[in-house]
Copies of this chain bind each other. A is one copy, B any other.
């Protein structure tokens, strides 16, 4: 019995709906995908409900589910995922937030939720706040993510993630006061800390030289921080203890690398893997192939399909699928052929919609002894596939079975 290695490739937001813009096709149907076509012909197809039929997951809950962790148990807000992705080593009890720099007027009304979006001084401002925000008995840690985004962690005794966002989630509204979501003392205290930190951020940023310069150039000031998605880390069993596999993750997206590390997988920063449309797929493929020499399970995440869907850019989504296809080719043509290779998405992001949806995602599983269906790989061919319809949490057991890594239940 050969125990196969497993390569799991998930294209973020891959699934789609037929669109008039593409003559009634989905981006996957419209794209030219010679490598996926070749792989698909000798693969078993199916559909994947990342969580369950009718559930529209975020990338975070989808990843939990697909890696076998019930998101209803393990998902405790996006903040911890963001913090892990930014490279903060979270401790139990820490409360983590997603943060943005934003622009407010003197009445604390939000004028620009992203302070102009591509804020090249963000890292400098994050470091400044990291050094100067001071709250009694609580450490305030910030770490820059990308553009105007960062993670913020409150560390100390007696904190709770049960607090509301300060981000009003729309321009023209005032910055919210964080409120406790429960009656606990910890939640009340944490909300007070969040409001104090927000107030200090305005005081510190409004008079920061970067903002004087931005103002001089006619750019919106990054003069406040908005926080959302408070959460604490759930105790989570490691991927290796769950499956007996040594795992490795390749992703240009901080949050996904953070997720991989959360479950104990190695997931270094890969030079050139940016998570956007310019990402270097050759670098990602090389990293995956190299990792396969020393690991049983290699996960490759491809982000740009999701971003194109969010941007309602059908043409770009088609091109990003073609880029994914190139990466799949580089991987498939440089491994032994004895591996189990799975290609799917973490969820659908239909380009007509510009948002995640609950549509199931096409699923391809290849192994030397799988049932070959002789079909292309898309939302419609997958409907009739040998693999049927799997839920996220069923995928890993099915891949382990195909890899002959079988734990028998009973005798």
Given the known A-B contacts A53-B398, A54-B394, A371-B18, are A410 and B357 also in contact in the complex, defined by CB atoms under 8 Å? Answer: no
| Complex Cα spacing A134 to B4, Å | 49
Closest-CB distance, A45 to chain B (whole angstroms): 10
Q: How many monomers of this chain does the complex have?
A: 2
- Assuming the contacts A47-B388, A358-B398, A371-B380, asked whether A57 and B353 have C-beta atoms less than 8 A apart, the reply is no
Most buried by B among A47, A359, A389, A410: A410
Cross-interface CB contact of A78 among B55, B56, B410, cutoff 8 Å: B410
- Chain A 352-363, CB-CB to B under 8 Å as 1, else 0, gives 111111111000
- In the complex, the chain B residue whose C-beta lies closest to that of A1 is B353
For A383-411 the 0/1 string (1 means CB < 8 A from B) is 11110111000111110110010111111
Inside 8 A of A410's CB, which chain B residues have their CB?
A: 57-62, 71, 75, 78
| A55 with B409: CB separation less than 8 A | yes
Contact of A54 among B359, B383, B401 (CB under 8 A): B401
A360 to B355, CA, bound (A): 32
- Tell me, rounded to whole Å, the shortest Cβ–Cβ distance linking A275 to chain B: 15
Interface-central residue, A59, A350, A352, A409, by most chain B CB under 10 Å = A409
Task: Let me know if A51 is at the binding interface, CB within 8 A.
Answer: yes
Residues of chain B with a CB closer than 8 A to A372's CB: 18
Q: Within the complex, which residue of B57, B383, B388 is in contact with A386, where a contact is CB–CB below 8 Å?
A: B383
Would B78 and A404 count as touching, CB distance under 8 A?
A: no
Interface string of A365-379 (1 = CB under 8 A from B): 000011110000001
Task: Decide: A56 and B409 in contact? CB cutoff 8 A.
Answer: yes
Contacts of A18 in B (CB 8 A): 369-372
Nearest-neighbour CB distance to chain B for A410, whole angstroms, equals 3
Given A54-B397, A388-B389, CB of A411 within 8 Å of CB of B369: no
B residues within 8 A CB of A53? 388, 390, 394, 397-398
Q: Nearest chain B CB to A370's CB is how many angstroms away? A: 7
A323 within 8 A of B: no
Report A29 CB to chain B, min CB distance, Å. Answer: 11
CB nearest neighbor in B for A62: B410
Q: Which residues on B sit within 8 Å (CB–CB) of A316?
A: none
- A4 CB to closest chain B CB (Å) equals 11
Min CB distance A399 to B, Å, is 8
Pairs of residues from A and B, 9 with the lowest C-beta to C-beta distance, nearest first: A54-B397, A58-B410, A61-B410, A358-B401, A58-B411, A53-B394, A60-B410, A78-B411, A54-B398
What are 19 A-B pairs with beta-carbon distances under 8 A?
A17-B369, A18-B372, A52-B394, A55-B409, A57-B409, A58-B409, A58-B411, A59-B410, A59-B411, A61-B410, A350-B369, A353-B404, A355-B408, A357-B404, A357-B406, A358-B400, A371-B383, A388-B389, A389-B389
